[in-house]
Amino acid sequence: MSDSPVSRRFTRRECLRWGLGGLVGGGLIYTGFIEPKWLELVRIDISVAGLPASFEGYRIGQISDIHFPRNITVEWVQQAIAMLRAEQPDLIVVTGDFFDGHGQTGVVPDSTDLFAGLTAPDGVFGCLGNHDIALDARGVLKELTRSPIDLLLNDHTILERRGDRLALASIDDLMYGTPRPDEALGGIPSGTPTVLLAHNPDTAELGIGDYRVDIQLSGHTHGGELYMPFIGEAYVPSRYGSKFSRGLVSGAAHRVYVNRGLCSPRHARFLVRPEVTLITLTPAPSSTG
């Protein structure tokens, strides 16, 4: 005997209910457990006007927003380091938020194994982020002296190749630090192409006077962590909304590349995979009149 219309309607409703439940459940599993551990290597070319020939094709690896030990393990950081080193960058930078004391005692964690193997021919440099300073800036500085990372605090260094120069500078965190552009950029020889490290991408909106900055490398926003098509990012910690959520952006002062970060502090990501970045410097095309 065939099912009655009532039974058929009941079956369709049940199928719909189970289907929607499966879709929601699958989405939650993906957002909470799959994408936060689905690391992406992003390759991007950055053009620089007047880039010296010796630095054409120069490769900079970027890691950002580790937030150790919050929702992240040594093994996960080591995976990111291995992925980046496999690309053989000339230089590696870490753009802040090494540590995170959220829910902890405020003690800077031991990082003996965290940065093992983090090396590059021209060195590894970094800047502090807001979470480093909020946790314990002095403690973070002391802990990182045991690591292969050289911190630049409102300071710069000059990289040289066959007589050509490239400046690497860093400005302190915009939220909890004391940004001093004059200290960071002053003293760089005039006309020297300059890469600026600044944890907060909003720094690209600061007035930096007549100093030259070709590209700023930042993190902080985690790409918004959750991106909804046709709606946008769930939350971007920036005064400028989603402008500085991720990727290459033009600020008022100069361009900035915003890394989406390694850690997922809120245990969730959607269409915003964790990232390590390989930046290749290329000469900007000559302008013609």
**For every one of its 289 residues, what pLDDT tens digit does the chain have, with 9 covering 90 and above?**
555 554 555 576 666 665 555 555 566 788 887 888 999 999 999 999 999 999 999 999 999 999 999 888 999 999 999 999 999 999 999 999 999 976 566 788 888 899 999 999 999 999 999 999 999 999 999 999 999 999 999 999 999 999 999 999 999 999 999 999 999 999 999 999 999 999 999 999 988 888 999 999 999 999 998 888 988 888 899 999 999 999 999 999 899 999 999 988 777 899 999 999 999 999 998 765 4
pLDDT at 14: 63
Contacts of 58 (CB under 8 A, 6+ apart): 90, 91, 166, 280, 281
pLDDT at 201: 98
- Model's pTM, two decimal places? 0.90
pLDDT at 289: 47
